């Protein structure tokens, strides 16, 4: 998923918005931002509705409790933690 925008919600964490490009993502999955260290997805929301999973084509917001605004930026790429760029 390519990050379109980033919001910080005080007391909750950083939210990255964008469209899931392939595969499926679940709450609790570990992902990498720009091939950095793994970070846990704490919540997934779409149009103010909480979801357990997001599939390819879904426009979603991913909540990361342990990240701040400086850890994410528009244009960053979020991938599965098991995925390695060639």
CATH of the domain at 7: 2.40.30.10
pLDDT at residue 84 tops 70:
no
- Residue 76, pLDDT score: 96
Least confident piece of the model among 25-29, 32-36, 57-61: 32-36
61: containing domain: 2-70
Task: Count how many domains the chain has.
Answer: 1
Where does the pLDDT of residue 35 fall: very low under 50, low under 70, confident under 90, or very high at 90 and above? confident
- Residue 4, pLDDT score: 97
Is residue 83 assigned to a domain? no
Is residue 27 assigned to a domain? yes
Where does the pLDDT of residue 80 fall: very low under 50, low under 70, confident under 90, or very high at 90 and above? confident
Is residue 85 assigned to a domain? no
Taking the C-alpha atoms of residue 82 and residue 68, their distance in angstroms, rounded to an integer, is 23
* Strands of the chain, DSSP E: 5-9, 13-19, 24-26, 30-33, 38-40, 43-46, 49-51, 53-55, 59-64, 78-80
Output the CA angle 46-30-72, nearest 5 degrees.
65
Is residue 42 assigned to a domain? yes
């Amino acid at each position: 998923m390519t990050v379109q925008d980033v919001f910080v919600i005080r007391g909750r964490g950083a939210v990255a918005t964008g469209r899931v490009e392939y595969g499926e993502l679940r709450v609790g999955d570990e992902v990498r931002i720009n091939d950095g260290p793994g970070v846990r997805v704490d919540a997934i929301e779409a149009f103010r509705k909480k979801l357990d999973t997001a599939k390819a084509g879904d426009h979603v917001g991913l909540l990361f409790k342990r990240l701040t605004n400086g850890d994410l930026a528009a244009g960053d790429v979020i991938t599965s933690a098991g995925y390695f760029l060639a």
